[in-house]
Structure 1
Amino acid sequence: MSPLDLSLSSLELTRTICNIPSVSGDETTLADAIHDAVSALDHLDVYRDGDTIVARTMLGRAQRVAIAGHIDTVPINRNLPTRDIVEDDVPMLWGRGTVDMKAGVAVQLRLAAELVSPRADITWMWYDHEEVDADLNGLTRLGRTRPDLFVADFAILGEPSGGEVEGGCNGNLRAIARTHGVRAHSARSWIGENAIHAAAPILARLAEYRPQTITVDGLDYREGLNAVRIGGGIAGNVIPDLCEVEVNFRFAPSRTPEQAEKHLRDVLAGFDLEVVDRAAGARPGLDAPLAQEFVSAVGAVPRPKYGWTDVARFSALGVPAVNYGPGDPHLAHHDDERVPVAQIEAVERGLRAWLSAA
């Protein structure tokens, strides 16, 4: 494959990298192209760990900004190659990854090549395996091997935010609620105990649950508690002895993961509950001077990020972080992903103006 041409417009770069499939676990081709392209830039110090590439300016500036984006996507479903469309007179680029989040990565790559002497030193981070379990995430791995690369005064994740600034993020917790029974032939069901029937109160509690909206540092975070998967039974003529309900709790960043788990256990008291994954949220961090300068420079009105993003990794290290990227977050993972061309251009202008300011 020929190297990426980082002199292309952000729109053309978006098209190019979207048309290089990089479903989680299959990022190497795109990672190779990015690595080759940024390694040719004399003003960047480049480090690679697996399919995660880090490129840094080393100008000795008083401040450092980390700007990151993941290069993987959810599975393709007949939505590549990309194509140009017009929706309500708005030119858009359609296809897998255009929203989540290769348009953001394209903007970053173009600016990484262009900004030879930015206002602050920049650590660019393009990483793999964001769309799957946290222990596979390229930043998780990098945090173990090179924690020094996360040192920064402010961080920006190029996650889709509609071209606006979204501060912090909700936390995320997944758990399995289990009910148990006794197997029996369905013709003699009275001999057994039906584990699926026993799960009905779990579903009833979740259906009746009213999630909270919690204000954190001036932003309103909506929580959510939902059953997302259910399974049980082994055959059409057997009373099931096990039923599992997977539950997802999106909690405001004012809660710690421990507090979120306690809340879930209170809601589902009396049931066998196993927490299988949890990740802390991130407070907005908008009181940091660099964050305030950034928000002012791009002319944004901050709003909360409801989904979990890797801003939480930076927040946990004491680095204030925000989400800022093109694309409607409601279209992330949607089979009709599409990003307005104007948003790609606007985010590029905003980042360039702020990073170039004296």
Structure 2
Amino acid sequence: MSASQVLLDLTAGSVALTAAICDIESVSGNEEALANAIMDALSTYSHLELTRAGNTIVARTHFGLPQRVIIAGHLDTVPLNDNLPTHWEQDSLGDDWLWGRGTVDMKAGVAVQLTLAVELTAPAFDITWIWYDLEEVDAERNGLRRLAHTHPEFFVGDFAILGEPSNSTVEGGCNGTIRVDIRARGLRAHSARAWAGENAIHKLASALAILSAYEPRQVEVEGLLYREGLNAVGVSGGVATNVIPDEATLHVNYRFAPSRSAAEAIVHMREIFAGFDVVVIDQAEGARPGLTSPIALNFVNAVGAAPTPKYGWTDVARFSAMGIPAVNFGPGDATLAHADDERVAVRQITECENALRTWLLGE
């Protein structure tokens, strides 16, 4: 049976469903088979109003309840490296693990969401479920971004949960990120007569010294301590091994706490690298924790563990920008995301499902 013909059993339980959807390969740009399978499986549930936009699927309830929550997850994964189909292993402590691409980022979270979407016909909130494509690639292609432009009505809600891996605990908000190029210019010359030129690569030495000496901040935002990071992530320059280079570029990534805007982070970069040509390549706002509203506090209590900050950037920032408090909550250790040995603990999938079900039922 081909992937396009796979029949998903959304009542099989989130653990079995995780394996089933992981085994439908959906590297970014190739989500159609998985989206087809999910759409087909959801179509028999009358309490869900379905909308499909490309390879993004929206399922909404309309029970007339006073509050609406948005629960989202992305369908795509990073490329494979001989890590599908999935397989099961048991560790030395007797814990079961599901190995394979997407198990952590983030099909275990999607499986939990799908399981509850079809099960919960009398929730305490109306729910908008969103499963979207193209999260792991350029932000301009992101399915959630596209959906917000074409269907803004789907982004009306009191609270949002994104199923990014968080060890089945609540991770509030996210750091922002910018990428800048620090560019130096010199003068070409033959390397045998280096004194006749100016070496642009050498001019980057002071910028590297700035990075080496820089002490990233730890910033408390609404009770969560975010750690920042400023790092060189690449360097380029030179035209030939016997030519003094006249141009060189240091690629720098700054992860900043959500107490700063992207504009403020860019000003900070220009201050730090004063005297250099600083070119902004990419920027994304962070998101504040989103834990101060009653509905968010109620969710944290249902999960039963102290929330922590999300250091990486996630799509919670999109919800935050629209005025919707949002958190990350899903099974899996984020340090295993994208790894060749990507794997998720079965225990975490079950914990995530149980906590989310309890909260959505208002118990």
Aligned length: 358
Bigger shift: residues 152-161 or 81-90: 81-90
Bigger shift: residues 332-341 or 232-241: 232-241
| SS of residue matched to 1:135 | helix
With over 3 angstroms needed to count, the CA separation of the structure-2 counterparts of 1:234 and 1:165, relative to structure 1, is same
**Which amino acid is the alignment partner of residue 351 of structure 1?**
L
Find out whether 1:332 has 2:332 as its counterpart.
Answer: no
| SS of residue matched to 2:79 | coil
**Which amino acid is the alignment partner of residue 136 of structure 1?**
R
| SS of residue matched to 1:53 | strand
Q: Distance in 1 between matches of 2:84 and 2:300?
A: 34
Give TM-score scaled by structure 1 length.
0.97
With over 3 angstroms needed to count, the CA separation of the structure-2 counterparts of 1:355 and 1:3, relative to structure 1, is same
**Which amino acid is the alignment partner of residue 275 of structure 2?**
G
Find out whether 1:246 has 2:251 as its counterpart.
Answer: yes
Q: Distance in 1 between matches of 2:215 and 2:314?
A: 24
| SS of residue matched to 1:244 | strand
Q: Distance in 1 between matches of 2:142 and 2:310?
A: 20
Which residues in structure 2 correspond to 1:101-250 (within 5 Å)? 101-250=106-255
**Structure 1 position 28, deviation (Å):** 1.6
- Find the counterpart in structure 1 of residue 61 from structure 2: 57
| SS of residue matched to 2:83 | coil
Q: Distance in 2 between matches of 1:85 and 1:32?
A: 29
Q: Distance in 1 between matches of 2:40 and 2:248?
A: 50
| From 309, 315, 325, the counterpart of 1:310 | 315
Give TM-score scaled by structure 2 length.
0.96
Q: Distance in 2 between matches of 1:47 and 1:234?
A: 52
Find out whether 1:84 has 2:102 as its counterpart.
Answer: no
| SS of residue matched to 1:260 | helix
**Structure 1 position 54, deviation (Å):** 0.8
Q: Distance in 1 between matches of 2:40 and 2:52?
A: 11
Which contiguous aligned blocks of 4+ residues in structure 1 show a shift greater than 4 angstroms? Answer: none
| SS of residue matched to 1:156 | strand
Bigger shift: residues 263-272 or 237-246: 237-246
**Structure 1 position 217, deviation (Å):** 0.4
Structure 1 runs not aligned, ≥5 long: none
**Structure 1 position 9, deviation (Å):** 1.6
What is the percentage of aligned positions where both structures have the same residue? 61
| From 10, 14, 18, the counterpart of 1:14 | 18
Q: Distance in 1 between matches of 2:68 and 2:231?
A: 39
| SS of residue matched to 2:30 | coil
**Structure 1 position 88, deviation (Å):** 3.4
- Find the counterpart in structure 1 of residue 297 from structure 2: 292
Q: Distance in 1 between matches of 2:175 and 2:183?
A: 26
Q: Distance in 1 between matches of 2:14 and 2:139?
A: 29
Bigger shift: residues 79-88 or 338-347: 79-88
**Which amino acid is the alignment partner of residue 185 of structure 1?**
H
**Structure 1 position 179, deviation (Å):** 1.1
Structure 2 runs not aligned, ≥5 long: none
| From 335, 356, 361, the counterpart of 1:356 | 361
Q: Distance in 2 between matches of 1:234 and 1:53?
A: 48
Q: Distance in 2 between matches of 1:108 and 1:100?
A: 14
**Structure 1 position 314, deviation (Å):** 0.8
| From 94, 98, 119, the counterpart of 1:93 | 98
**Which amino acid is the alignment partner of residue 307 of structure 2?**
P
| From 265, 279, 283, the counterpart of 1:260 | 265
Deviations 1:19-61 (A, max 9, x none): 1121122222212222222223211111111211111011111
Find out whether 1:277 has 2:291 as its counterpart.
Answer: no
| SS of residue matched to 1:247 | strand
| SS of residue matched to 2:311 | coil
Question: RMSD of aligned C-alpha atoms?
Answer: 1.2
**Structure 1 position 143, deviation (Å):** 1.2
Deviations 1:214-255 (A, max 9, x none): 000001000001111111122222222221211111100110
